[in-house]
Amino acid sequence: MRILASDGMEKNAVATLRAQGHEVVEQFYEPAELAEQVKNFDVLVVRSATKVRVPIIDAACETGRLKLIIRGGVGIDNIDHEYAESKGIKVMNTPRASSRSVAELALGHMLSCARFISIAGHTMREDKWEKKAYGKGIELGGRTLGIVGYGRIGQALGKLAKAIGMNVIAFDIHHVPGIEEQLGIPYVEMDELLAKSDFISVHAPAVDGGKLINAENIAKMKDGVIIINTSRGSNVDEDALLEALNSGKVRSAGLDVFADEPATNHALYSHPMVSCTPHIGAATKEAQTRIGAEIVDIIGKFFA
């Protein structure tokens, strides 16, 4: 098979696929060029940078060669997956591979927000010693974490949070049977989660027709709440969040994802009470190795 990895692929996975006799091309193309190139491949592997929209899918259908699109990661909102499936192109992802990595980053942002790690480190690089300014941190132990979106990543974060003594509650429109008993983390309704949580971490896919963290929902939260988002930037109303940070309603926010990427909302990502990273949730050696192995497995089984 000819495989186009438009956002790159883990080197061991590339070596394995080539050893199996496949041709692997690692090359990013802008949309217009991708529409031409994709006609000549059996498999397209993307991460988050490449957007596979209707025109690209239509172009692939001109030759009918493309049979499989794989998203190396969890969300598939950068792919018009329903349209692709309607054209006979299978869309798959690697949902298990990066759960731990994203959960650990979310926990890292929680700690950063609680103890001013991001801004305190930044001021030290400016040769400042702001010990008094950042000496009013809080501990995570005994606090309540509300997890919005209780899939694999949410569950992984819940386990980590419980291990350091947090109380954890979760909201999801889908209830997985047995999870409450297995993990000891109860499902609650969204309004209850908003009202009770000291920390709120979002792990839901992109939501059609509205933002999970908006002005209305922020108003229902505790004063001084800490908000973490490592899911999709579109899940947070950035203007509402910035206003809440400036008013003190939201104590701090940890953000790995933004409405526009690369991020353009300078007022938000440069805010002193924001701990931010450039969409690196799955960017660990371990996660990339697992993602690569899962991609190899998917291709092997699909074309068996």
To the query of whether residue 232 is one of the catalytic residues in this protein, the response is yes
Instruction: Check: CB of residue 140 under 8 Å from CB of residue 146.
Output: no
Set 71, 115, 279, 290: catalytic member: 279
Structure tokens at 220: 């229902």
Instruction: Check: CB of residue 6 under 8 Å from CB of residue 27.
Output: yes
Set 22, 71, 81, 232: catalytic member: 232
- 2, β-bridge pairs: 23
What H or E segment, with its residue span, contains residue 225? strand 225-229
Distance between CA atoms of residues 299 and 21, nearest Å: 12
To the query of whether residue 125 is one of the catalytic residues in this protein, the response is no
Residues counted in the chain: 304
Radius of gyration of the chain (CA): 21
Distance between CA atoms of residues 105 and 118, nearest Å: 13
Tell the burial category of 114 from Cβ atoms under 10 Å away from its Cβ (0-12, 13-18, 19+).
buried
Distance between CA atoms of residues 220 and 241, nearest Å: 13
To the query of whether residue 203 is one of the catalytic residues in this protein, the response is no
- 43, β-bridge pairs: 3, 68
Q: Is the dihedral of CA 258, 264, 270, 273 positive or negative?
A: negative
Q: How many CB atoms lie within 10 A of CB 139?
A: 12
Set 23, 82, 261, 286: catalytic member: 261
Catalytic residues: 232, 261, 279
